[in-house]
Amino acid sequence: MHPDSEDVQKSVRSYMIVFAMLMVFTLVTVGVARLSFAVPVAIAVALIIAAMKGAMVAGVFMHLSHEKRWVYGTLVLTVVFFAALLLLPVITSLDSLATGNPWVR
Amino acid sequence: MNIPYTVEARPDSGLANGKLGIWLFLASEVMLFGALFSTYILLRVGADTWPHGELSVPLGAVNTIILIGSSVTMVMAWASLKMNNWGRHRMFLALTFLLALVFLVNKYFEYEEHLLAGEGPNHNTFLAIYYTLTGLHGLHIVGGMIVMGYFLGPGAGLWKRNPAQFTNRIEYTGLYWHFVDLVWIFLFPVLYLL
Amino acid sequence: MDLAATHDTPVHDHAHHEDLPFWRKYIFSLDHKVIGIQYAITGLLFLLFGFFLMMLMRYQLAYPGQPIPLIGNWFGADKAPGGIMLPEFYNQLGAMHGTIMVFLGVVPLAVGGFGNFVMPLQIGAPDMAFPKLNMMSYWVYFVGGVVMLGSFFLPGGAPQSGWTSYPPLAVIAPAGQTAWLFGMVFLITSSLLGSINFIVTIVQLRARGLSYMRLPFFVWAQLVTAFLLLLAFPPLEAAAILQLMDRLAGTSFFLPSGLVVSNQVLTGMTGVAEGASRAGGGNALLWQHLFWFLAHPEVYVLILPAMGIVSEIIANNTRKPLWGYRALVYSVIFLGFMSFIVWAHHMFMTGMGTAISAFFQTTTMIISIPSVVILTALLLSLWGASIRFTTPMLFALAFLPMFGIGGLTGLPLGLAPSDIHLHDTYYVIGHFHYVVAPGTIFALFAGVYYWFPKATGRRMNDLLGKIHFWGSFVCINLVFMPMFIQGLGGMNRRLYDGGMQYAHNAELLHWNVVIGFAAWGLGLFQLPFIVNFFASIKWGALVDRNPWQATTLEWSAPSPPGHGNFVTEPVVYRGPYEYSVPGSSTDFTPQFEPEHA
């Protein structure tokens, strides 16, 4: 259901707060990248910050925090399959029968 | 013949048809970009070396800020309609369109710089996945701009005839636009920083 | 809201509804019934064309190197000089047979055709949630089909790297492959738009009283199918883009470094210095992952609507409720979910380690459980039933053991140790054809006979239907059963001469002649169906709203339904399969009939 006019006024404040936080996080991401961490750590940090930014865009701008079950359910399902798509292929190439996977060079 | 729940929400699902429709579409888009991220992972894990510093971080960061800004103006364009302020809605929607255009112009210069140096998609796998990911993302920006252009232009008449339906459509456009922003929020660190 | 049509009676009242010009009423219609029929007829025509492609292949396999009789000179010197099929042409036929049957034939008929026509009627909706999107979905599919067919005329011919289009071969294949990739982009787009429409329609437009657990199983099957299409297709679209980049932009997403083709390092194409390799850094398995991520759920897209159709027909022709409705619903949902995490069972031979192989074997074994539950529920539904052996029921009954054989023969393929011997043999071809051909396609025939009266107001001829059934049933088993024998004997698939060059195939080759004759028989027995279908549109016996005395909502609408479908707003009072309710004066109590006082 759509919030009415007064609720929207309150939402505008949260949009601005989120905007500011997104700016900050962007600068943090760039700053952190300059401190050369080991690759796995760098990846983890970058993705965590990106995930936090994403959560804010999704939760506040896209109103996902008050969304309905069908939307929420579809997205949960999507996230599970997204994770499978990202992880399983690389796992099949890491856990190889040969000493080095000859296809991946 | 009247299709129910095109504007008002169905009581048991709490959704209007278009709302569910756009979220389903976004779910499919998550899988589309997911496949490309999976490609990136597989190719990078299998590579002996992976280029660093090929892309301009400042330009990428500026584009990130531009796109986030456009997300704010987009949600404000919708909020203005909820507050019945047609003028501010027009301003915010036009601003969103403009910011998107600036993003694309920056992208154009970025591509041009590399292409002139002979660094096309065939130069190495990093650039291949870079061009594909940002290219597909760019096409999505163009798509969004076309829809915004429609609502700034010929589609604006719907506000007079059926303000609730027009507001819904702007909301759905906004959802799509925030998604495009979301993809970039992940693209930027992955391609430019890591 | 007003679901009622703005006019009263039903049967042929085109005079009442807005007098649209012919091209808007029948070509660019927004009505789900017209669009459904468009999908169905186009799909059936593609199935027929795919069948012809197979007949050509079967001739070559039965009589390798012999000129194709009568029509051999139609194909030109680049495909069949002197009427003798070139290996390249055989491969084109193979790739196109698979692509056409799966993407242009079965799915458009099962989902676009039956789903579009029947589902809104079964849920009491006036149309789909997004009629314009529905129309667009059909035409985008149509364009995709034209692109695919047009590829036969490109230099180098049609796509010839299998329906699976594996790199590196597909990347260096002639121009037809590019057409395949573009064609797939159209088909995938059509599917995505359609799946969004289906889900929103089912969630949002159900009639009053039609809760989820009162939905006909056909609707549940279409709902899960739509989710499969929605979430599984995009990775193939991405992969198609990547392969297009490899073919057209000189990238190496799928080309490993140091690739040698015909004893030469791969050169040529864009952006490569003279003599340097054009390939590097890519991963051929990446394509396989992205392709099978779609293609495994795709096979459930092929079977689920069929299970839905068969369920409706069995309930109706046993005059009993389906056994285990809840089990069916939970099974189909679980099946849909599992289908996303089994895909690498198509890749057991690619060198993956034992741990991840065990994972995929396990999920593959688990996914057989809901299939068995569904099959068992349908079988148990026959117990104590008053079976009416109508033509749709014959096809629906045959589906059960045929799907059983198809499913059981999948088990040794899903376990890696046995898959080592059976992978890429005719055993695989036998397995999947059993599920799709005497499985799904029989179910689709059943659906045509069953819903033809609703769509046209006339019934099809029963005698012709029975000839169609018995002839097809016998011949189709003669076509596919020998393939298990051939596969177990080690005969490889996709060999243009049937594997003549291999000594171990010598004893197996004669089966190709048997299969060839059986295929001819199968083709001939489709003639009664084709004649019946078109003749009945004009001269079939007229029927009223509910000729099968069925219980689901579509039978409350006129035959055929008018614009807006229902004369008065449909209301649902009970579950979908209230047959032989004790104390009732009739052996069926429709969902839409009000309670008696």
The DSSP code sequence of B95-136 is HHHHHHHHHHHHHHHHHHHHHHTT--TTS-HHHHHHHHHHHH
Over residues C129-174, the pLDDT tens digits come to 999 999 999 999 999 999 999 999 999 999 999 999 999 999 999 9
**Which residues of chain B lie closer than 8 angstroms to A58, CB-CB?**
178, 182
**Which residues of chain A lie closer than 8 angstroms to C285, CB-CB?**
89, 92-93, 103-104
CB contact under 8 A, A89 and C350: no
Q: What is the mean pLDDT of residues A42-60?
A: 92
pLDDT of B60 > 80? The answer is yes
- How many C-alpha atoms does A96 have within 13 Å on its Cβ side? 15
Res C276: pLDDT: 60
What's the mean pLDDT when you consider all of chain C? 93
Residue with tokens 């004649």: C531
Residues A54 and A89 in one domain: no
pLDDT of C4 > 60? The answer is no
Res C272: pLDDT: 53
Disruptive mutation site among C251, C356, C572 for chain B (greatest number of B CBs within 10 Å): C251
Q: Where are the domains of chain C?
A: 30-254+282-556
Residues A88 and A103 in one domain: yes
**Which residues of chain C lie closer than 8 angstroms to B35, CB-CB?**
234-235, 237-239, 290, 293
In 3D space, the residue among C418, C451, C411 whose CA is nearest the CA of residue C435 turns out to be: C411
CB contact under 8 A, B25 and C232: no
Res C6: pLDDT: 35
Q: What is the mean pLDDT of residues C217-245?
A: 97
Residues A54 and A75 in one domain: no
Res C529: pLDDT: 98
Looking at the complex, does the CB of residue A43 fall below 8 Å from at least one CB of chain C? no
CA distance C392 to C314: 9
What's the mean pLDDT when you consider all of chain B? 95
CB pairs under 8 A between B and C: 137
pLDDT of C594 > 60? The answer is yes
Residues A14 and A3 in one domain: yes
Over residues C14-60, the pLDDT tens digits come to 434 567 888 888 899 999 999 999 999 999 999 999 999 999 999 99
* Inter-residue contact C591 to C574 (CB < 8 Å): yes
**Which residues of chain C lie closer than 8 angstroms to A85, CB-CB?**
235, 293
Q: Which of A16, A30, A85 sits opposite B38 (nearest CB)?
A: A85
C-alpha dist (Å) from residue C392 to A22, C14, C175, C245, C401: 60, 30, 43, 47, 16
* Inter-residue contact C170 to C242 (CB < 8 Å): no
* Shortest Cα–Cα distance, A94 to chain C (Å): 8
Over residues C527-567, the pLDDT tens digits come to 999 999 999 999 999 999 999 999 999 999 999 999 899 98
Long-range Cβ pairs for the range A22-28 (8 Å, 24+): A22/A53, A22/A56, A22/A57, A22/B68, A23/B65, A23/B68, A25/A49, A25/A52, A25/A53, A26/A53, A26/B61, A26/B64, A26/B65, A26/B68, A27/B61
Res C9: pLDDT: 37
CB contact under 8 A, B125 and C196: no
Q: Which of C230, C237, C253 sits opposite B27 (nearest CB)?
A: C230
pLDDT of A104 > 50? The answer is no
Q: Which of C281, C337, C351 sits opposite A97 (nearest CB)?
A: C351
**Which residues of chain B lie closer than 8 angstroms to A57, CB-CB?**
68, 71, 178, 181-182, 185
Q: Which chains touch A (3 or more CB pairs under 8 A)?
A: B, C
Res A95: pLDDT: 65
Residues A42 and A75 in one domain: no
Over residues C417-448, the pLDDT tens digits come to 999 999 999 999 999 999 999 999 999 999 99
Number of domains in chain A: 2
Residues A19 and A53 in one domain: yes
Res C208: pLDDT: 96
CB contact under 8 A, C235 and A103: no
Is the complex ipTM more than 0.90? yes
Interface of A with B in 63-82 (CB under 8 A): 67-71, 74-75, 77-79, 81-82
Q: Which chains touch C (3 or more CB pairs under 8 A)?
A: A, B
Q: Which pairing describes strands C260-261 and C458-459: parallel, antiparallel, or unpaired?
A: unpaired
- As assigned by CATH, the class of the C30-254+282-556 domain is mainly alpha
Q: What is the mean pLDDT of residues C248-270?
A: 83
Residue of C nearest to B17 (CA): C200
Q: What is the mean pLDDT of residues B37-42?
A: 95
pLDDT of B122 > 70? The answer is yes
Residues A12 and A55 in one domain: yes
Residues A7 and A56 in one domain: yes
pLDDT of C271 > 80? The answer is no
Residue of A nearest to C258 (CA): A105
Q: Which of A11, A39, A61 sits opposite B178 (nearest CB)?
A: A61
Q: Which of B31, B46, B47 sits opposite C231 (nearest CB)?
A: B31
**Which residues of chain C lie closer than 8 angstroms to A88, CB-CB?**
289, 341, 344, 356
CA distance B187 to A56: 16
CB neighbours of residue C544 within 10 Å: 11
- What residue numbers bound the domain in which A82 lies? 68-105
Over residues C291-344, the pLDDT tens digits come to 999 999 999 999 999 999 999 999 999 999 999 999 999 999 999 999 999 999
pLDDT of C13 > 50? The answer is no
What's the mean pLDDT when you consider all of chain A? 85
CB contact under 8 A, B71 and A101: no
Concatenated DSSP letters for B35-90? HHHHHHHHHHHT-S----S-S-HHHHHHHHHHHHHHHHHHHHHHHHHHTT-HHHHH
Residues A45 and A90 in one domain: no
Looking at the complex, does the CB of residue C356 fall below 8 Å from at least one CB of chain A? yes
Give the pLDDT band of residue C269 (cuts 50, 70, 90).
low
In 3D space, the residue among A18, B111, B63 whose CA is nearest the CA of residue C249 turns out to be: B111
CB contact under 8 A, C237 and B32: yes
Residues A17 and A52 in one domain: yes
**Which residues of chain A lie closer than 8 angstroms to B79, CB-CB?**
8, 11-12, 15
CB contact under 8 A, C285 and A93: yes
Q: Which residues contact B183 (CB under 8 A, 6 or more apart)?
A: B29, B33, B137, B140
Res C273: pLDDT: 55
Res C238: pLDDT: 97
CB contact under 8 A, A104 and C353: no
Residue type, B191: L
Q: Which residues contact A51 (CB under 8 A, 6 or more apart)?
A: none
Q: Which of A85, A96, A104 sits opposite C235 (nearest CB)?
A: A85
Residues A10 and A37 in one domain: yes
**Which residues of chain B lie closer than 8 angstroms to A67, CB-CB?**
23
